Amino acid sequence: MNITKENVDALNAIVKVDIVAEDYQDKVTKVLNDYRKTATIPGFRKGHVPMGMVKKQYGKAVMIDEVNKLLQESLNKFLVEEKLDILGNPLPKVNDEFSWDAEQFSFEFELGLAPEFNVDLNAETVKQYNIVATEELIEKEVENIQTRYGKLISLEAGEEQASITGTFVNEEKGIDKKATFAIAELNGDANRGMFIGAKVGDVVTLASKELFEDAHKLQNVLGVSHDEAHDLDVEVQLTVEEINKTEKAELDQELFDKLFADGSVKNVTELKEKIKEDAEKQFQQQADQQLLNAVTESLVANTSFDLPKEFLQKWLQTAGEKELTAEEAVAEYEKSEKGLRYQLIEGKIMKDNDIKIDYAELVEYAKGFIKAQMAQFGNMNPEEKELDDIAGRILSNQEEARRLQEQLVSQKLVSFFKDNMTFDTKEVSYEDFIKEVYNVDANQ
């Protein structure tokens, strides 16, 4: 057998594999002998079928199978030994003169080669956000906690801090929905005033247009679609069924211990510090994701290299479950080119800087993820064996294992970028971060 490689250019090559009869004949003979031992042919005892008959019936099919096995094994071995960094998979070249009746064969494969390039981590300055929990946010969360752990009191008449439960009706629009809302959520003094002093059994007529400060609240309360809620302009009748008020929980040790069973909070100051710490930990995850996105965009934009475009488009035609037309493959390439470029950049950064993940690290990462999930359900101290068992089950699922591995890689890359890149750091509130990065109001 002889394998040679010829470079077409820096990004494309042809590998030629020459196979002669001596390379595969012994294996073919062994398979045919095994067939002979088990073949059942009328007129012959089992194991006594003439070899000529076995060859005539099975010889060509066995030879083709063994040549293909040998071809695949030798090609894979060649790519590994030559340390060829290829994109996609080798594509066989069609040879119209090829015949399986010959005793020696020549096969040619097209290769798409990964480009060589350098990565400049500081080609441009990327913006990094430091999201801080504002006093306003902390105070709002303290109030939310007091309300959440507060006591619900039934009222005889509506007042400013009360909530109303009742059924909204509009026959024309098919609205018949029971809902609860706070009087303070209503838009405008006139609407809120209708419920001050209202009693159970009262029927109040309201205009749906701009009834609530947030149009999404109207959607939930009336049970209409998102689009309807924004344009709905009808009268609805609300029959008041309940009037309640939440008496906020006291900020005392009993409440602190409900929130933090380990006794780590003993006063309001410590409670606010905990809220700030927990909030900023969650904000950091979002800031890190935004940073990774921004770095990705910057590296792709500032790292220049060519790709074996025509080869990849040809490879995409047969790479998926469904074969694509040439036009579909071109469109798919254009959609995936940016992602491929970043994969190559990421791979080079990880290789050049020895960033890698071993299985033990992945297990520990999975266990940390599991502990966080269990803590949400009140299990703060799971046993190590339980964590190991759950982690083992999760990582036995290839899709879950890949997802966790990608998360861990992203985490390592973010740490690497923070240590090796120069950023334009901006301190912002969470609301300003959402507005600036996603152009969305955080309160919507």
Least-confidence region, from 36-50, 279-293, 307-321:
36-50
Give me the mean pLDDT over the 277-288 stretch. Answer: 95
d(CA 17, CA 98): 13
| Of 70, 11, 105, 109, residue with least CA distance to 305 | 11
Residue 225 pLDDT exceeds 60: yes
The pLDDT confidence band at residue 63, using thresholds 50, 70 and 90, is: very high
281, 172: one domain = no
Residue 222 pLDDT exceeds 80: yes
C-alpha torsion 358→401→281→290, nearest 10: 100
241, 297: one domain = no
278, 373: one domain = yes
In a domain, 139, yes or no: no
Q: What is the CATH number of the domain that holds 214?
A: 3.10.50.30
Would the CA dihedral through 367, 368, 370, 374 be positive or negative? positive
Phi-psi region of 47 (alpha: psi -120 to 50; beta: other; left: phi over 0): left
The chain-wide mean pLDDT, for the chain, equals 92
Residue 41 pLDDT exceeds 80: no
Residue 297 pLDDT exceeds 80: yes
Give me the mean pLDDT over the 265-285 stretch. Answer: 95
In a domain, 319, yes or no: no
| Of 184, 186, 143, residue with least CA distance to 160 | 184
In a domain, 129, yes or no: no
- pLDDT value, residue 443: 55
106, 227: one domain = no
- pLDDT value, residue 376: 75
- pLDDT value, residue 343: 96
Q: How many residues belong to the chain?
A: 444
Q: What 3 state SS string does 169-213 have?
A: EECCCCEEEEEEEEHHHECCHHHHHCCCCCCCCCEEEEECCCCEC
In a domain, 349, yes or no: no
Total count of domains within the chain: 3
105, 181: one domain = no
Give me the mean pLDDT over the 346-355 stretch. Answer: 96
Residue 438 pLDDT exceeds 60: yes
93, 156: one domain = no
In a domain, 257, yes or no: no
Residue 311 pLDDT exceeds 80: yes
Please indicate whether residue 440 or residue 211 has the higher confidence score (pLDDT): 211
Q: What is the pLDDT of residues 78-130, one digit of tens each?
A: 999 999 999 999 999 988 889 999 889 999 999 999 999 999 999 999 999 99
In a domain, 424, yes or no: yes
- pLDDT value, residue 441: 66
Q: What is the pLDDT of residues 376-399, one digit of tens each?
A: 777 778 899 999 999 999 999 999
Residue 420 structure tokens = 């090796």
30, 108: one domain = yes
- pLDDT value, residue 129: 97
In a domain, 275, yes or no: yes
Contact yes or no for 410/113 (Cβ under 8 A): no
- pLDDT value, residue 310: 96
Domain range for 370 is: 265-305+355-438
Residue 433 pLDDT exceeds 60: yes
363, 389: one domain = yes
- pLDDT value, residue 51: 86
| Of 25, 3, 12, 1, residue with least CA distance to 108 | 3
360, 274: one domain = yes
297, 434: one domain = yes
Which residues have C-beta within 8 Å of that of residue 415, sequence separation ≥ 6? none
State which amino acid sits at residue 75: L
Q: What is the pLDDT of residues 408-425, one digit of tens each?
A: 999 999 999 999 999 999
278, 238: one domain = no
| Measured CA distances, 128 to 122, 146, 281, 346, 409 (Å) | 14, 34, 16, 19, 19
What is the share, in percent, of the chain residues with pLDDT greater than 70?
Answer: 99
Contact yes or no for 27/324 (Cβ under 8 A): no
Phi-psi region of 210 (alpha: psi -120 to 50; beta: other; left: phi over 0): left
Q: What is the pLDDT of residues 141-198, one digit of tens each?
A: 999 999 999 999 999 999 999 999 999 999 999 999 999 999 999 999 999 999 999 9
The pLDDT confidence band at residue 345, using thresholds 50, 70 and 90, is: very high
- pLDDT value, residue 372: 86
Contact yes or no for 95/106 (Cβ under 8 A): yes
The total of other beta-carbon atoms located within 10 Å of residue 179's CB is 15
Residue 270 pLDDT exceeds 90: yes
In a domain, 172, yes or no: yes
Residue 402 pLDDT exceeds 80: yes
41, 190: one domain = no
